[in-house]
Amino acid sequence: MHTLGSLLGHIAASLREWNYLDHYARDFPDLFGLFEASKCDRNWQSLKVPFNIFQWLASCMRAQSSPLSDSFPSLYMNREATCINFSRKVIGFYGLLCCNEAVSGVVSCGVPVDIAAGSFETAEQKLVLAMVGENFGLTDLDRLPAGVSLPLRHVIKLFHSAGCH
């Protein structure tokens, strides 16, 4: 665990994700000296709890809108960050499903999503085009927890039952 904590701490520091770095430093206090050089002038006591994707998805589904939050990590808005690419896609899909708005391929919460060319009239149709654009298939849905994949599977089922292919 010590080695994993060190690796994750260094990744968080290199990405300047201070909330995560604080989290690892608290879990592994003996590594704090390694992380201290990375904190720059940050006040470690004022940091928030790291972003919880499950809480965000739940609030998104309850409110039927994409919650805008200043605690949303900028890392998820970076298409080049391959370490969170899978999560970025899921967040983008939920953003499209809940609020059906994307400007230039960016959902209202700031997450970029590739949307395949095609016509759509509903949020569900736009979501299917986004899943195609992001090359996100059924095997990817199988990698998600059941509660997270169920709404996305339901959209695909609706799409196929309407005779759309």
3-state secondary structure of 57: helix
137: left (phi > 0), else alpha (psi -120 to 50), else beta?
beta
- pLDDT of 41 reads 46
The closest alpha carbon to 113, from 99, 125, 95, 98, belongs to: 95
- Contact 155/97 with Cβ under 8 angstroms? yes
In 15-122, which ranges are continuous DSSP H helix? Answer: 18-27, 32-36, 53-63, 85-99
Gap between the Cα atoms of 150 and 102, Å rounded:
22
Look up residue 13 and give its two tokens: 């520091």
3-state secondary structure of 103: strand
Q: Give the Cβ contact number of residue 142 at 10 Å.
A: 10
* pLDDT surpassing 50 at residue 44: no
Q: What are 61-114's pLDDT values in tens digits? A: 776 555 555 556 777 777 777 778 888 899 888 888 887 666 667 777 778 888
β-pairing, 106-107 with 102-103? antiparallel
Q: For the whole model, what pTM was predicted?
A: 0.65
The closest alpha carbon to 130, from 101, 161, 109, 154, belongs to: 101
Q: What are 118-162's pLDDT values in tens digits? A: 888 888 888 899 999 999 998 999 998 888 898 899 888 887 776
